[in-house]
Amino acid sequence: MLDHQLIYRQSAQAYDLLVTREDVHCNLLKAIQWILPLEGRRVVETGAGTGRLTRLLASHVRFIMGLDASAAMLQVAAACLPGRILVVADHRHLPVPGSCADLVLSGWSLCYLVNPGTNWQAEVSKALHEMERVLKPGGVMLIIETLGTGYAFPTPPEKLIPYYDFLEKSGFSFIWIRTDYQFSSPEEAVQLTRFFFGDELARSLEATSSTTLLECTGLWWKQAKSTNPAV
């Protein structure tokens, strides 16, 4: 089984190369702008990683701050985002003042709190509470997660289905988009796919010499209450 936490600690550069190949049709920015127009907004991003979303949003917003549990990932982000505020932090304990952001988002990250056989609902709830605490009244929290890599239509990982149901029962709205990867060559497609997604997907690309890897992505969002929880 692939150890993504180890990848994030030891192979941040390779991971960043992979995600630069993602979303070839630029659907993510369009979807986020549809949920909440970004111009003039103050944004806090948790689970920022190497800054894939941070870079996407930075030129459209007034302010953006990226937080991630991996210092190695943020080191890569810092090289691409000079002058931006990037801080090592856990989703459940954000070193950010209350009521300071119009948008708090987490991309492909809260899912790592979901471990079958544990009280993952409590851990996700802590993260959601922190996201809402940081929001200004009426602000938006946005969660982006996988709905299946290698698929043309949503095919969520089985272990994450209860988590997605939990979000919708917690009042989140939902849409899905395609975020396909486009690689520079069949060789790069196989190498980067195997590195992060494993042998099965890599073999399917190798068999067809394809440079495209299909992917579906979900966006869940919720507007904060008019009065934020006590800080």
30 assigned to some structural domain: yes
Tokens for 202, please give them.
């890599």
- The tally of domains found in the chain comes to 1
pLDDT at 230: 45
208 assigned to some structural domain: no
Does residue 77 sit in helix, strand or coil?
helix
Burial 52-62 (b: 16+ CB within 10 A, else e): bbbbbbbebbe
230 assigned to some structural domain: no
| Whether this model's pTM surpasses 0.85 | yes
pLDDT at 227: 58
Q: For residue range 202-224, list pLDDT tens digits in order.
A: 999 999 999 999 999 999 999 98
197 assigned to some structural domain: no
Q: For residue range 111-141, list pLDDT tens digits in order.
A: 999 998 999 999 999 999 999 999 999 999 9
Q: For residue range 164-204, list pLDDT tens digits in order.
A: 999 999 999 999 999 999 999 999 999 999 999 999 999 99
184 assigned to some structural domain: no
Q: For residue range 50-86, list pLDDT tens digits in order.
A: 999 999 999 999 999 999 999 999 999 999 999 999 9
113 assigned to some structural domain: yes
pLDDT above 80 for 1: no
Domain of residue 14: give its range. 4-147+158-178+215-222
pLDDT at 76: 96
Q: For residue range 143-163, list pLDDT tens digits in order.
A: 999 999 999 999 999 999 999
Q: In whole angstroms, what is the distance from residue 14 CA to residue 88 CA?
A: 20
pLDDT above 70 for 10: yes
Does residue 188 sit in helix, strand or coil?
helix
Q: In whole angstroms, what is the distance from residue 61 CA to residue 77 CA?
A: 17
pLDDT at 228: 46
**What CATH number has the domain bearing residue 20?**
3.40.50.150
231 assigned to some structural domain: no
* Confidence band for 225, pLDDT divided at 50, 70 and 90: confident
Report yes or no: 197 and 149 within 8 Å, Cβ to Cβ. Answer: yes
21 assigned to some structural domain: yes
pLDDT above 50 for 231: no
